């Protein structure tokens, strides 16, 4: 079982890359920052995909309207 101190250290380490142990700051080698960058990149790709999917029906309709020739 994980105790509260270990849990707090894990949260602090993940969020900032710095853990406080006995009043001293211990920095990991940027693992937390790398994981945050990866999550941000995934979120950006998901957002762009959603926006593109939301715009697709409109784009298809506009393209269809533009391709019809007046009678």
* Domain-located, residue 25: yes
- Cα–Cα dist 43/56, whole Å: 20
Angle made by CA atoms 6, 42, 10, in degrees to the nearest 5: 5
Q: Is residue 37 part of a domain?
A: yes
pLDDT tier, 10 (very low <50, low <70, confident <90, very high otherwise):
low
In a domain, 71, yes or no: no
Range of the domain at 37: 4-57
With respect to residue 70, please indicate whether it lies within any of the assigned structural domains.
no
Q: What is the 3-state secondary structure (H, E, C) of the chain?
A: CCCHHHHHHHHHHHHHCEEEECCEEEECCCHHHHHHHHHHHHHHHHHHHHHHHHHHHHHHHHHHHHHCCCC
* Residue at 68 is within a domain: no
Q: What is the per-residue pLDDT for 51?
A: 84
Summarised one tens digit per residue, pLDDT across range 17-71 is: 555 556 665 555 555 556 777 888 889 999 988 888 777 666 666 666 666 655 5
In a domain, 63, yes or no: no
Within-domain flag for 48 = yes
Centroid of chain to Cα 60: 29
Question: How many separate domains does the chain show?
Answer: 1
């Amino acid at each position: 079982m994980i105790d509260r101190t270990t849990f707090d250290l894990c949260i602090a380490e993940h969020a900032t890359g710095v853990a406080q142990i006995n009043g001293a700051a211990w920095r990991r080698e940027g693992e937390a920052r790398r994981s945050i960058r990866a999550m941000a990149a995934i979120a950006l790709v998901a957002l762009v995909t959603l926006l593109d999917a939301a715009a697709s029906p409109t784009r298809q309709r506009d393209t269809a309207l533009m391709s019809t020739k007046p009678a």
